[in-house]
Structure 1
Amino acid sequence: MNPVLTATSLLVISNVFMTFAWYSHLKELSHKPWVIAALVSWGIALFEYMFQVPANRIGYSALNVGQLKILQEVITLSVFVPFAVYYLKEPLKLDYLWAGLCILGAVFFIFRSKWAGA
């Protein structure tokens, strides 16, 4: 299987866990002490790392570290926005679009040498 596709798939799964670890306690555990929320988040984050570490190792076989990081950021925003809107019931803001366009600019600059064949 293509290492970029494999890494991307694993990073999507990793980001779902990461997003829940970082933000679900705001909705689900807001009535609990922060230390409980931190422990639950760490437990969820363990699953994040079980996908993130192999994703980065596989991805690094085909991408440089800058490309891998920008790929991660694209995936992070792609997972976070639906999570914020549908799970946390945050309003969909135009700012998400602007942030996405900035990240697309980052994608262009970090991958342009790869696309140019250099």
Structure 2
Amino acid sequence: MPQPRAARVAAELTRMQAFFPIMQLLGNRLAATRPFDGFTVGMSAHLTTHTAALVQELTLGGGTWAICAASDATTDQGVVELLRANGVHVYTSTSRKDHHLQVLDHLPNLLAEAGGNLIGT
């Protein structure tokens, strides 16, 4: 059973799908082609509901996903809970460098980030 915060985020993502049907089309295409199978994707991002909506669709493309918070100030704990419940490795430790290193410990083949935080670690 999802945690209350994760349930709130899941409900918000359902509402977002109605406004952004392109996201579901993206997810369907990725699910059909599975372009990330065999890859590990590392990401540093603001963990908001918008990010959760994107990651939810991207993970349908397969692979292993490891994500760390770009900022504690923008981290929604419901998003963290939901992504973890869906098999995404999410890191939000007290030290930004520590959670960057935790993502890099997965030896990602692909990186997605804003600001070069993972590359600079």
Q: TM-score range by the shorter chain?
A: 0.3 to 0.5
More helix by share: 1
